[in-house]
Structure 1
Amino acid sequence: MVHVPRRDGPPSVHHVAARAGVSLATVSNVLNHPERVADSTAARVHDAIAELGYTPNRNARVLASGSSRSIGLVVMSLRNSLFSDMVNGAQLAARKRGFTLLIASSEDDLQAQGEHLAYLESARVSGILLASMTESRDQVELTRRHGRPVVYVNFAPTTVDACSVVVDNEQAGFLAAEHLITRGCRRIGFVSARAELQPVALRRAGVLRAIAGHPGVELVDIDAGDIDPPGGTHAGSRIAAMPADERPDGVLGVTDLLAMAVVSELRAAGIRVPEDIPVSGCDHNSVAWGGAVPLTSVTMHGAEMGAAAVELLLEELTDPMHVHRAVVLGSELVPRESTLGRAGAAAARTATPSDPRRTEA
């Protein structure tokens, strides 16, 4: 019979060790470094924890170690499925390594982002993943001076030496524009805004590269004012009001939300999509996949970005020889009804998308 120490209060780590028949160090490893413990031993410890109802004193562990087995993730917005996918991928990767993920959304507000970073520091996270649309240099350098590494997600830093994971946004713009060109479009309306944002600038560069390869194809820049749906509504109404001989014969929204709003405005004006004007998005937002006209777009691989960022962060935490790297994931076009029509989209669905192409620098 296993002797369990006397209990006058909540179960402690000593009770767990006694019930599982292991040392205190083994219980500590199961809780903090599960990769160091054999599966069978870990199972005994977890069974003991469940039987006793033991809850680790995480606050004490944080104060003792100076950091916790948690990772912070600050995203620009959770309204775009790219960032939701990123959260899911990062959370799964973190759990596999014995870490929890603390999530915050800045809603594209730099001050709010700084407040979230400060809060995550106070929670003593081990490191932070930052999915911002800007470099946020001052905030990042302050966080790193306090001893917490930062990995950029969906943004490639140019003045901060740090790891990053991005999708190839230039390739995304190229693929979307090339697709419209192969559909016969020769006057492509590029609906965008906030050219200072890195993904926007890179996608436009890709569009220009595609057009440069096809003499006779021209670009019509249409400033939406913002990258959210109201901007698309404004741009769509302007396109619909153009004389037919001046109107773009294909439209590419720099975001799916812009493109989806354009589709709605064109159809309300009696302009058929895609028969009169094919429309494509560029960031694979799940909000735009359904509806009356499911939107053609380009994959962003948010889950893969989140998982890769976690791995880079944990490598930086554990490897004294760590060298900062930039991981770039490829993009693939996903054609749907907004450019192919219903019959064409049904045929395209039989094709299987490839795995994301990954390069590192």
Structure 2
Amino acid sequence: MAAGIRDVAAAASVSVGTVSNVLNAPHKVAPATVERVHAAIDKLGFVRNDAARQLKANRSRCVALIVLDIGNPFFTDVARGAERRAAQLDLTVLFGTSDDDAARERSYIDAFDEQRVFGLLVSPVSDDLSRMLTLQSRGTPVVLVDRDATGTPFSSVAVDDVAGGRLAADHLCSTGRRRLAFVGGPRTLRQVSDRLQGAQAAVAEHPGVTLEVVDTAELSVLAGRTVGEQLRARRPEDRPDAVFCANDLLAIGVLQALTLMGDVQVPRDIALIGYDDIDFARSAVVPLTSIRQPSTQIGTAAIDLLAAAAEHDEPQHIVYQPELVVRASTA
């Protein structure tokens, strides 16, 4: 039979309450006693019953993180930052990817709700936050990630994507480009619509500059490659002379398609800029200019906001400013 907490208490000559404190609040126990209890745990092979502890506390030590696409290195870095900070707080992060699918997002939220997670970090698929509101009303704190939630009951950590879109378009205009194209979608994603809004605002301030909008079904390399092939098939005078992609994965796909046959050169014929500044951006065949987001820092901040929300603090909102990183694709 597996050893229980009473067996540990007897072996260490302490009370059951002392063992509980060693496991959950060691700062309340004398160091020598902590050492003695841990020695008894090791000797007996005691494993804490987290399921029972969860039932008693009505909350686990697991944090749920739902992102739009865990295959996107930006969200991988966000998850890495969250995981590192969570470990410092004795929390474990569980991951889910919605694939930009609202039904899949709801399914994950329901599953994590059943597990009574400590809290939920989510990059929402749409503006419908009703399921998150229900979760939070029942005592599970929710933090929106990569989405500014100012004006809602949720804490949030995000980047000013409107400013990022403006940075990208302003940069392209400053290099003398006049026929710009924005590539991205679906526009139901707030990040995409905000980046487009910023680009449109910048273009409106530059007389003679136009902005074509090319919608995509997803933010992937394959979607970018399809757009790049379509642009390459146009007559040179009908092509944009600069392309702003809503993320780096799209931009890498566009770059691959444009340079495949060698008849279109980046940046001579078409300047190209992405968004996120993932590691692949700097190592592309033509190093990619991008708008940098502090991805790991976003994940770290999300965990801190969740811990504060669990203490019933007022909603807090962190909005980082993006940074232009210029490389050869627009030089």
Please report the TM-score for the alignment, with normalisation by the length of structure 1: 0.82
Contact 1:223–1:235 (CA under 8 A) maintained in structure 2: no
- Match 2:191 to one of 188, 192, 199: 199
Contact 2:68–2:124 (CA under 8 A) maintained in structure 1: yes
| 3-state SS in 1 of match to 2:244 | strand
Match of 1:315 in 2: 308
For 1:118, the aligned partner's letter is D
- Match 2:326 to one of 335, 346, 361: 335
Contact 1:34–1:98 (CA under 8 A) maintained in structure 2: no
- Match 2:317 to one of 313, 319, 326: 326
Task: Give the % identical residues.
Answer: 35
In structure 2, what is the Cα distance between the partners aligned to 1:20 and 1:338?
Answer: 66
| 3-state SS in 1 of match to 2:23 | helix
| 3-state SS in 2 of match to 1:245 | helix
Match of 1:183 in 2: 175
| 31-40 or 227-236, larger mean C-alpha shift | 31-40
Match of 1:165 in 2: 157
In structure 1, what is the Cα distance between the partners aligned to 2:168 and 2:323?
Answer: 9
In structure 1, what is the Cα distance between the partners aligned to 2:267 and 2:121?
Answer: 39
- Match 1:89 to one of 72, 75, 81: 81
Match of 2:232 in 1: 240
Contact 1:154–1:167 (CA under 8 A) maintained in structure 2: yes
In structure 1, what is the Cα distance between the partners aligned to 2:107 and 2:168?
Answer: 37
| 3-state SS in 1 of match to 2:183 | strand
For 1:333, the aligned partner's letter is L
In structure 1, what is the Cα distance between the partners aligned to 2:182 and 2:120?
Answer: 35
In structure 2, what is the Cα distance between the partners aligned to 1:301 and 1:78?
Answer: 17
Q: 1:41 to 1:190 in 2, by over 3 A?
A: farther
Match of 2:242 in 1: 250
Q: 1:245 to 1:150 in 2, by over 3 A?
A: same
Contact 1:137–1:160 (CA under 8 A) maintained in structure 2: no
Q: 1:43 to 1:110 in 2, by over 3 A?
A: farther
For 2:159, the aligned partner's letter is V
Contact 2:98–2:125 (CA under 8 A) maintained in structure 1: no
In structure 2, what is the Cα distance between the partners aligned to 1:182 and 1:36?
Answer: 61
Residues 38-57 of structure 1: pairs in structure 2 closer than 5 A: 45-46=37-38, 48-57=40-49
For 2:259, the aligned partner's letter is R
Gaps of 5+ in 1: 1-8, 341-361
| 3-state SS in 1 of match to 2:76 | helix
Q: 1:169 to 1:33 in 2, by over 3 A?
A: farther
Q: 1:173 to 1:46 in 2, by over 3 A?
A: farther
- Match 1:294 to one of 245, 268, 287: 287
Gaps of 5+ in 2: none
Contact 1:82–1:283 (CA under 8 A) maintained in structure 2: yes
Match of 1:343 in 2: none
Deviations 1:192-228 (A, max 9, x none): 2322221111111221233344333332222334432
In structure 2, what is the Cα distance between the partners aligned to 1:286 and 1:88?
Answer: 14
Q: Tell me, yes or no, if structure 1 residue 72 matches structure 2 residue 64.
A: yes
Contact 1:233–1:258 (CA under 8 A) maintained in structure 2: yes
In structure 2, what is the Cα distance between the partners aligned to 1:37 and 1:77?
Answer: 44
For 1:215, the aligned partner's letter is P
